């Protein structure tokens, strides 16, 4: 079979070569494209003749999947798979596998980092120090003693809850299904999302982007949060009505927000509402991006391919 890695994985080419050894030892062809592309025509060329394609977080559109006559498996080096043409894959009976778990620690840590930055005005302090100003106007707030609402208590949400608890916060959780690991970590479940929002000084999102979560957070939801509360999103941008979030910040109902994800991939257009919102701390979708996470996802993705080739697929996604 032909296995094609269509884009870089954030590890060295030497490491890619090492990880591909089990594929080649089994007698399969492995090809690697070391430059990222989002051009559908180029993706189609790279996919041509491949039984297995390996991708990261770049879109894999329906036009490419539908025209890939040999395609049998898509290995995604990411937790979310909403950037893959899932309907086309399902129609062709293509197996899709993800790398769930590779970025649990990295995303949870950035969640804490953004929270601290917003509460302690770290970015503003850096600007003040560099421009010869003093600490005037930079009095911050602590995580300790505050109530944190975790929306989505899977692996990442639970890890974030553990970290917030370590800072001395009271951690609430809301999810469709309770996770025993979250309970063991000290997260107290709330049956109703609105009740969690009303009770939380800090709200952090950790749910996937799907039909049931899209625009889960609207102006009405932000209005339920206490005045002066903080909103953190390291999950998916489409879960949030980002114009409503910008308005909640500009009206100063929310004291601040730390946002790593948007309803489009950066670069953001100059008129994007959050770029001009008060007290909005933005990062360009980097929560998953650590050296350790890149190594973990590469190992998992190649492992997924080898397992599928051996007839014992792992991390198979329901389409």
- Structure confidence by residue, pLDDT tens digits, 27-39: 999 999 999 999 9
Is 301 among the residues known to form the active site? no
Question: Residue 282 and residue 313: Cα distance in Å, rounded?
Answer: 38
Query: In the predicted model, what is the mean pLDDT of residues 219-230?
Result: 98
> CA torsion, points 279, 211, 178, 114, in degrees to nearest 10?
-20
Closest by alpha carbon to 154, among 102, 207, 109, 192?
207
Per-residue pLDDT band for 170 (boundaries 50, 70, 90) equals very high
Question: Residue 118 and residue 141: Cα distance in Å, rounded?
Answer: 9
Tokens of 119: 């509460």
Task: Indicate which residue of 236, 296, 297, 301 is catalytic.
Answer: 236
Whether the per-residue pLDDT at 132 is higher than 90: the answer is yes
Output the pLDDT for position 169.
98
Taking all residues of the chain, what is their mean pLDDT, rounded to a whole number? 97
The 188-189 sheet, strands edge to edge: 188-189, 170-174, 147-151, 202-205, 229-233, 254-259, 280-282
Question: Residue 266 and residue 5: Cα distance in Å, rounded?
Answer: 23
Q: What pTM was estimated for this model as a whole? A: 0.92
Tokens of 127: 């600007």
Task: Indicate which residue of 109, 181, 247, 265 is catalytic.
Answer: 265
Question: Residue 296 and residue 315: Cα distance in Å, rounded?
Answer: 14
Per-residue pLDDT band for 287 (boundaries 50, 70, 90) equals very high
Output the pLDDT for position 57.
87
Is 198 among the residues known to form the active site? no
Q: Using DSSP, how many helices (H) and how many strands (E) does the chain show?
A: 13, 12
Structure confidence by residue, pLDDT tens digits, 22-80: 999 999 999 999 999 999 999 999 999 999 999 998 899 999 999 999 999 999 999 98
- b or e along 37-49 (b: 16 or more beta carbons within 10 Å of the residue's beta carbon)? eeeeeebbebbee
Alpha helix locations (H) across the chain?
13-19, 21-25, 40-47, 62-66, 86-91, 104-120, 122-130, 155-166, 180-184, 193-199, 219-224, 242-250, 291-309
Q: Is 245 within 8 Å of 222 (Cβ atoms)?
A: yes
Task: Indicate which residue of 170, 285, 296, 297 is catalytic.
Answer: 285
Is 83 among the residues known to form the active site? no
Per-residue pLDDT band for 110 (boundaries 50, 70, 90) equals very high
The answer to whether the Cα torsion of 140, 285, 268, 220 is positive or negative is negative
């Amino acid at each position: 079979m032909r296995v094609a890695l269509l884009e870089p994985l954030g590890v060295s080419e030497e490491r890619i070569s090492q990880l591909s050894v089990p594929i080649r030892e089994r007698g399969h062809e492995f090809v690697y494209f070391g430059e990222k592309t989002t051009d559908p025509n180029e993706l189609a060329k790279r996919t041509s003749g491949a039984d297995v394609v390996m991708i990261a977080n770049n879109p894999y559109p329906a036009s490419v999947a539908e025209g890939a006559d040999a395609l049998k498996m898509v290995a995604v080096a990411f937790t979310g798979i909403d950037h893959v043409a899932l309907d086309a894959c399902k129609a062709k009976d293509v197996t899709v596998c993800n790398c769930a778990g590779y970025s649990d620690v990295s995303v949870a840590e950035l969640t804490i980092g953004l929270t601290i930055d917003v509460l302690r005005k770290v970015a503003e302090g850096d600007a003040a120090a560099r421009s010869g100003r003093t600490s005037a106007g930079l009095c911050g707030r602590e995580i300790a003693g505050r109530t944190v609402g975790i929306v989505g208590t899977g692996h990442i949400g639970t890890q974030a809850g553990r970290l917030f608890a370590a800072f001395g916060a009271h951690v609430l959780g809301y999810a469709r299904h309770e996770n025993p690991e979250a309970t063991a970590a000290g997260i107290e479940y709330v049956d109703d999302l609105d009740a969690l929002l009303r009770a939380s000084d800090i709200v952090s999102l950790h749910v996937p982007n799907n039909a049931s979560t899209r625009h889960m957070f609207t102006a009405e939801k932000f209005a339920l949060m206490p005045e002066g509360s903080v909103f953190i999103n390291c999950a998916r941008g489409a879960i949030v009505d980002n114009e409503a979030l910008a308005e909640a910040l500009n009206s100063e109902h929310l004291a601040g927000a730390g946002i790593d994800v948007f309803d489009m991939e950066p670069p953001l257009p100059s008129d994007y509402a959050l770029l001009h919102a008060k007290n909005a701390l933005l990062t360009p979708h980097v929560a998953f991006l650590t050296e350790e996470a890149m190594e973990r996802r590469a190992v998992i993705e190649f492992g997924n391919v080898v397992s599928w080739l051996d007839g014992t697929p792992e991390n198979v996604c329901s389409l």
